[in-house]
Amino acid sequence: MLTEVEIRENLKEVEEKICAAVKKAGRNRSDVKLISVSKTNPVEVLEAAYRCGVRVFGENRVQELVEKMDYFESKGIKDIEWHLIGHLQTNKVKYIAGRVAMIHSVDTEKLAKVISDESAKKGVVTDILIELNIGDEDSKFGLESDDLANFVKNIAILPNIRVKGLMCVAPITDDPEKNRKFFNKMYKLSVDIRDKNIDNVNMCELSMGMTGDYTVAIEEGATFVRVGTGIFGKRNYGVQQ
């Protein structure tokens, strides 16, 4: 578990790298949102990050996310944007509908429908991203890119979701350049869909890039980068899983 001083240092370094990457790509800093991935860290660590100015957190498990949202709410803190970035089971959607800024991991029509239905019950429209298995990995969640166009058409009619873009978890690698082709493919797929002008679909967001490869992702068009280890240090799964 890192101290507030270490988190502040890490955030500064991440910020510098983001700025360098957007500059290199001829983009603006405001084109890219940093999601601080706080999974497995206790709320005290999130509070320290909050004091360092973090207002956008990403979590990958519903129960943990809800506990953390409840904690901050109980303290009267309301200016946090929560992103669900991990695999989501349909029976858990009801716990987060209306409480999260975005769900990044929609990869079945059934899940999209449940998110729309649960959002309707709460009187909200939920922003979602479609998760692609861009590296074609057996172990990964996400749609195959060949199925994307049909998938988008089928879920675009759901009244209480808004399709905002695409998300991927690229293969784990120690050489981020190896993932450049995947990020570039994500960008091209999003442009292809955008050109189809489907009602209710706004392919403006690309959630891609993690601690190991976010600068390359930004160069290839990421609008959200999801950084965990680079801010909070190595995760200790032994404690919470």
Ligand X SMILES: *Cc1c(COP(=O)(O)O)cnc(C)c1O
Chain positions contacting ligand X, by CB under 6 A: 37, 39, 60, 85-86, 169, 210-212, 226-230
Do the Cβ atoms of 231 and 10 come closer than 8 Å? Answer: yes
CB atoms within 10 A of CB 238: 7
d(CA 241, CA 236): 9
Q: What is the DSSP string of 158-205?
A: -TTEEEEEEEE-PPP-S-GGGGHHHHHHHHHHHHHHHHT--TTEEEEE
For residue 227, what is the enclosing H or E element? strand 224-227
Is 72 or 214 the residue whose CB approaches ligand X more closely?
214
Q: How far is the CB of 146 from ligand X (least distance, A)?
A: 22
d(CA 39, CA 27): 29
List the structure tokens of 132: 């692609």
Is 68 or 226 the residue whose CB approaches ligand X more closely?
226
Q: How far is the CB of 34 from ligand X (least distance, A)?
A: 11
Is 80 or 125 the residue whose CB approaches ligand X more closely?
80
Is 221 or 230 the residue whose CB approaches ligand X more closely?
230
Q: How far is the CB of 37 from ligand X (least distance, A)?
A: 4
d(CA 48, CA 69): 15
List the structure tokens of 65: 């996310």
Q: How far is the CB of 198 from ligand X (least distance, A)?
A: 25
C-alpha torsion sign, points 27, 100, 231, 137: negative
Q: How far is the CB of 229 from ligand X (least distance, A)?
A: 3
Q: How far is the CB of 153 from ligand X (least distance, A)?
A: 25
Is 221 or 228 the residue whose CB approaches ligand X more closely?
228
* β-bridge partners, 218: none
Q: How far is the CB of 36 from ligand X (least distance, A)?
A: 9
Is 37 or 134 the residue whose CB approaches ligand X more closely?
37
Do the Cβ atoms of 97 and 118 come closer than 8 Å? Answer: yes
Is 58 or 221 the residue whose CB approaches ligand X more closely?
58
Residue closest to ligand X, measured at CB? 228
